[in-house]
Structure 1
């Protein structure tokens, strides 16, 4: 994966030896103190050149300037575009960049521990998944990626990026939006007007807020149109270019009001960053004050700069409520870019344990969990171990928080949410990246990959385990899988039965409801039971009252068995497994879980598969999805010996495949596209050939 921050004013992830945003701005010596969301130092030109893929047919996430472009010429691999010139009708990459998964509704189960709360603080995250430019639209051939999976604790994701040398307005790519939407999390694009120290120019602020002859702000309407066409949920507006005056502030306020009105009519939202004030200067308040109050009132929420104090936050929450707004529409910024869970913070000022939460939490750059790892320890398993530590806490068990942990992980304060509310429901525990691609336990591509749009709805309580013996290790494993790139591995002595929570659900169950369980035992001998709860716990921190249904034993290799929910009616509120070792130690894999009725519907095949562009070994494909429920599509190449090689999967109706070449002396390549249903059943193929 390319390292973010390849051009001046870009937004890099922290790397060893590179100064962070805060240290850089202290060196700049701004009179107002360290600015909140300015980027770190630019990378060297050589690093910039190395961090971008070649141009051509490869599609990338979109980025623009508001109107006027910089002087000179862009660096290699960067395309300067004006948002004023954009339209959905002429966007050549729209089909490859438009998210298709609708924003799922979700519910809040009874919290897993006694300290997590519902209806109070929420969590926002500002994440830079890749550079502003050169960010592939549909994943890339590496497993080294920030594969965010702890969506259950998030209420808003900001697709952070933008730079003075590339573009200031960044649209989220489709895989991130599709994964977030599957878990009920809205995603915002970013409007970043950089500080002057990082190449910001006040003319770009004026471009953004310009009015037409009718007094409207045309770029407000254009931003709403972009979000609607691309399928994401609104905008984060960060105006940090200094030098403005009260007139410019008034124009910004008018722009923000119009943006919110137009966005709200389309189900979109707007978050303002505590930067520009009513006199046009950039003066980070660290709270809700009279100098930024009009901007907060014109937006749906506000990210409060990191300079907040306990008293300032408390006063800000009170002010919000006096304005008829929720105090939890204020995100108190917590900068984790440099130190992650080692960040020293006054958590009692935001999410106190002895009284109501003060505000919500805004996490700046939690992708530290990936970026801080040495290059030789960024395998998917290493990343998820760090990410679980960040979101769950040192105990690695949200049902048993470690009270001595100085890091107050989101799971300690915020109740998890779930979108598992309807059947059929299935998961193959796919995290959206992997070292290989598996289908029915067989490797169909040995290339590493990432594509968050293929991510499953994943267990939210990672990992709640109850046992009177030694706790086994539980986590996603990438050494083997039933389908996709990962499976769930339970590894330990199992001196006593171990109960593992998997999903909080609201699934209807009746006489015909069954659960398909695909599993494999790699070591030891273990009895497996499906754990099903039909009632919610009576109070936070109480485990589900499970009924245990035996899972038929399997032989060697992967096995899929069907467990009828005999006698289970009404609503299933939780699903898990209980493992009892007959002989240990045990290594047991769960490859897939599906809750369904009596049938396994198969989707209809897509139609109109065609190659829309070809350049050497780079091809673009497009098709029309068949009607009915389709989770995603997969594209395979049929090799001369008749075997199929997985090329990729996507929720979109277009795909780019790069670097293809003839196999042996074949005159043409054959490609097959299949629709994949919610139960991972696949359609008949649509076929197209390409002559070399």
Structure 2
């Protein structure tokens, strides 16, 4: 890797690394004491001087969960879902070889809201099906070095079976790094244990994420410090493994304590690789270095795919020049795995006035799926070898009940039953559905329609699936790869509407895998009523038994072109309605800035929604969360009311809602 790219990397990893949130995401000053933010720390000692505006300096060594006033807002609640690998969508994607790690900066280190914010301009990652590990990238010498991921990101990732790691960043000296912080991290107690290793594992357990990415880039160390770092890593891995967590090492510090990026697995970093679950190989790799690294990992009995070859896409995204054959060759086994550095370029490269959620998802689909925007039809002339070309997608849709309203985790407004209940833009990844893993596979002998997430209308949440095209021949859209057990009571519900043209709609269900990679699943088709308004069609799967391996829709135009919208899908044996939450209360108030807390009812609850009930009977959506606490800012009296009235409901897996719990707040 040349010095220019290294400079970009280091600069991006310090104070300048994080995209600033739009002004609408920043709370007004009086909310500062109540607005919860994602947590960040220094290992022990703090910088000299005074922190900047909006920054709080904290010591991880002093952290205790009982003293963490924001823990309820920051603790993820969705367990890590198991995944399966369906038959690949094309003939080039492989299972069991290269994996993908993604290092993503979702927001600034400081003042990064815990539970979303009032803007749709957000990196709403949805292509989880190709990712094996997400790193919550960030940290800076002036704010904090150890970052715990936001709960919404962890909840969304876990729903799709992806573990999330917090980040430990010890910056280069040129960018404010102090060797004392490295010494703080690896300090030992009187009996030779590493107290910060224990504290890191305790943080991940309390916050509900899956371990740590360790990036030690502060130079000036010696062999003694290298030995202490190695001892720290070994204890961290041992403690992490006992809690079901994992540790990834970044190829930076060497065993002699110096910082020297190797771009390979070799004698200088092998001990650290052995003390971790995987290693991110710095961008200095070459084809020869990766070949030797893979061989060395195999010889160690570790496996070559535990090495992530760094691919820097921060500056150029899919225009980056990458020697793909050195990592994921087409004509032989993959060499190592892929480590994407900053793929949120798909959002950041868009102009500020063209960064709506629709534009973002078009760009993000291009990055993960390729120029064809259909993983079953890779574009062989595309110089960007997208993940869908090389890596088989995975799915977590394996149990009933299952439902999705195709919510991507951000939107321009909020819909309930097709009606707008809030016209404010928003983001909250914890509300994201389990989304289709292969977007978008269309089987047709004619012209392929465009298939996208659309934000101009929705049944629930902020988005729906829009199919638009001439449909000169029938088109089958693969919606979900599944492993859903079928009984005599199983039904599928489709919520949909036809906006233009006339179209015959059929539900497609396959009870076996396709005959070969890239082939159409062996679907059975069931007629579905269609119309110009939102409607929910309930389809009984007469004649089908066993397991549903794929669910899709077949659209046949009778008078085109056609614009058709899918707003929801549910697979169930019987209706289920969650019980109402209890003990709803306001735990903090400053004028119109309020903290809410409650006790979830027993049973399966997907998330909770909070509404305000206005004097004229209007129910206004204020937000939703998977946590047991929520913050709302900037409220005030309306329509002459003397007190504000709030309703909290539990939302089940089938999007049925409970009776409300209520609370009032006097003005």
Tell me which interval the TM-score lies in, with the shorter structure as reference length: over 0.9
Which whole-Å CA distance do the structure 2 matches of 1:478 and 1:373 have between them?
18
**TM-score, normalising length: structure 1:** 0.94
**CA RMSD after TM alignment:** 1.8
Distance 1:80 1:40, change over 3 A: closer
Whether 1:589 and 2:565 are equivalent positions in the alignment is yes
Whether 1:484 and 2:461 are equivalent positions in the alignment is yes
> What secondary structure is seen at the aligned counterpart in 2 of 1:681?
coil
Which whole-Å CA distance do the structure 1 matches of 2:474 and 2:18 have between them?
52
Distance 1:49 1:281, change over 3 A: farther
Which whole-Å CA distance do the structure 1 matches of 2:534 and 2:220 have between them?
64
Matching of residues 348-363 of structure 1 within 5 Å: 348-363=325-340
Counterpart residue number, 1:617: 592
Which whole-Å CA distance do the structure 2 matches of 1:49 and 1:542 have between them?
47
Counterpart residue number, 1:559: 535
8 Å CA contact 2:15–2:141 kept in 1: the answer is: no
Whether 1:217 and 2:194 are equivalent positions in the alignment is yes
Whether 1:202 and 2:192 are equivalent positions in the alignment is no
Which of 529-538 and 674-683 deviates more? Answer: 529-538
Which whole-Å CA distance do the structure 1 matches of 2:25 and 2:542 have between them?
56
8 Å CA contact 2:410–2:428 kept in 1: the answer is: yes
**Equivalent of residue 639 in structure 1, options 614, 638, 642:** 614
> What secondary structure is seen at the aligned counterpart in 2 of 1:204?
helix
Whether 1:96 and 2:73 are equivalent positions in the alignment is yes
> What secondary structure is seen at the aligned counterpart in 1 of 2:166?
strand
Question: Structure 1 residue 469: deviation in Å?
Answer: 1.7
Question: Structure 1 residue 56: deviation in Å?
Answer: 2.0
Counterpart residue number, 2:583: 608
Counterpart residue number, 1:536: 513
Whether 1:105 and 2:93 are equivalent positions in the alignment is no
Counterpart residue number, 2:353: 376
Matching of residues 22-171 of structure 1 within 5 Å: 23=4, 25-26=6-7, 38-39=13-14, 41=16, 53=27, 54=29, 55-171=32-148
Distance 1:319 1:75, change over 3 A: same
8 Å CA contact 1:61–1:171 kept in 2: the answer is: yes
> What secondary structure is seen at the aligned counterpart in 2 of 1:119?
coil
Which whole-Å CA distance do the structure 1 matches of 2:325 and 2:17 have between them?
35
**Equivalent of residue 456 in structure 1, options 433, 441, 453:** 433
> What secondary structure is seen at the aligned counterpart in 2 of 1:143?
coil
> What secondary structure is seen at the aligned counterpart in 1 of 2:215?
strand
Alignment deviations for residues 309-341 of structure 1 (CA, whole Å, 9 cap, x no partner): 000000000000111101000000000000000
> What secondary structure is seen at the aligned counterpart in 1 of 2:272?
helix
Question: Structure 1 residue 26: deviation in Å?
Answer: 4.3
Question: Structure 1 residue 109: deviation in Å?
Answer: 0.6
Question: Structure 1 residue 52: deviation in Å?
Answer: 5.2
Counterpart residue number, 1:11: none
Distance 1:315 1:42, change over 3 A: closer
Which whole-Å CA distance do the structure 2 matches of 1:279 and 1:22 have between them?
23
Which whole-Å CA distance do the structure 2 matches of 1:210 and 1:26 have between them?
30
Structure 1: runs of 5 or more not aligned: 1-20, 28-33
8 Å CA contact 2:13–2:139 kept in 1: the answer is: no
Which whole-Å CA distance do the structure 2 matches of 1:408 and 1:107 have between them?
23
8 Å CA contact 2:24–2:119 kept in 1: the answer is: no
Counterpart residue number, 2:236: 259
> What secondary structure is seen at the aligned counterpart in 1 of 2:379?
coil
Question: Structure 1 residue 24: deviation in Å?
Answer: 7.7
Counterpart residue number, 1:31: none
Alignment deviations for residues 93-115 of structure 1 (CA, whole Å, 9 cap, x no partner): 00000000000001001100000
Counterpart residue number, 2:550: 574
8 Å CA contact 2:347–2:355 kept in 1: the answer is: yes
8 Å CA contact 1:369–1:386 kept in 2: the answer is: yes
Matching of residues 235-634 of structure 1 within 5 Å: 235-554=212-531, 556-597=532-573, 599-634=574-609
8 Å CA contact 2:21–2:107 kept in 1: the answer is: no
8 Å CA contact 1:38–1:195 kept in 2: the answer is: no
Question: Structure 1 residue 504: deviation in Å?
Answer: 0.4
> Which portions of structure 1, spanning 4 or more consecutive aligned residues, are displaced by more than 3 angstroms?
21-27, 34-44, 46-54
Alignment deviations for residues 386-437 of structure 1 (CA, whole Å, 9 cap, x no partner): 0000000011100010111110000000000000000000000000000000
Which whole-Å CA distance do the structure 2 matches of 1:286 and 1:564 have between them?
56
Counterpart residue number, 2:633: 658
> What secondary structure is seen at the aligned counterpart in 2 of 1:157?
strand
Which whole-Å CA distance do the structure 2 matches of 1:63 and 1:488 have between them?
37
**Equivalent of residue 689 in structure 1, options 650, 664, 667:** 664
Which whole-Å CA distance do the structure 2 matches of 1:489 and 1:538 have between them?
28
Question: Structure 1 residue 540: deviation in Å?
Answer: 1.5
**Equivalent of residue 668 in structure 1, options 636, 643, 652:** 643
Which whole-Å CA distance do the structure 1 matches of 2:488 and 2:654 have between them?
19
Alignment deviations for residues 418-463 of structure 1 (CA, whole Å, 9 cap, x no partner): 0000000000000000000000000000000000000000001101
Question: Structure 1 residue 537: deviation in Å?
Answer: 1.6
Alignment deviations for residues 212-253 of structure 1 (CA, whole Å, 9 cap, x no partner): 001000000000000000000000000000000000000000
Structure 2: runs of 5 or more not aligned: none
Counterpart residue number, 1:10: none
Which whole-Å CA distance do the structure 1 matches of 2:576 and 2:83 have between them?
25
8 Å CA contact 1:49–1:76 kept in 2: the answer is: no
8 Å CA contact 1:24–1:41 kept in 2: the answer is: no
Question: Structure 1 residue 541: deviation in Å?
Answer: 1.7
Distance 1:65 1:50, change over 3 A: farther
Which whole-Å CA distance do the structure 1 matches of 2:106 and 2:16 have between them?
18
Question: Structure 1 residue 288: deviation in Å?
Answer: 0.1
Question: Structure 1 residue 23: deviation in Å?
Answer: 3.8
Which whole-Å CA distance do the structure 1 matches of 2:15 and 2:479 have between them?
39
Alignment deviations for residues 280-316 of structure 1 (CA, whole Å, 9 cap, x no partner): 1100000001000000000000000000000000000
Distance 1:22 1:372, change over 3 A: farther
8 Å CA contact 2:101–2:133 kept in 1: the answer is: yes
8 Å CA contact 1:52–1:133 kept in 2: the answer is: no
Alignment deviations for residues 605-633 of structure 1 (CA, whole Å, 9 cap, x no partner): 00000000001110000000000000000
Which whole-Å CA distance do the structure 2 matches of 1:22 and 1:353 have between them?
30
> What secondary structure is seen at the aligned counterpart in 2 of 1:180?
helix
Matching of residues 220-235 of structure 1 within 5 Å: 220-235=197-212
Which whole-Å CA distance do the structure 2 matches of 1:481 and 1:250 have between them?
56
**How many residues in Structure 1 have an aligned counterpart in Structure 2?**
664
Question: Structure 1 residue 470: deviation in Å?
Answer: 1.3
Which whole-Å CA distance do the structure 1 matches of 2:356 and 2:84 have between them?
33
Question: Structure 1 residue 553: deviation in Å?
Answer: 2.9
Counterpart residue number, 1:18: none
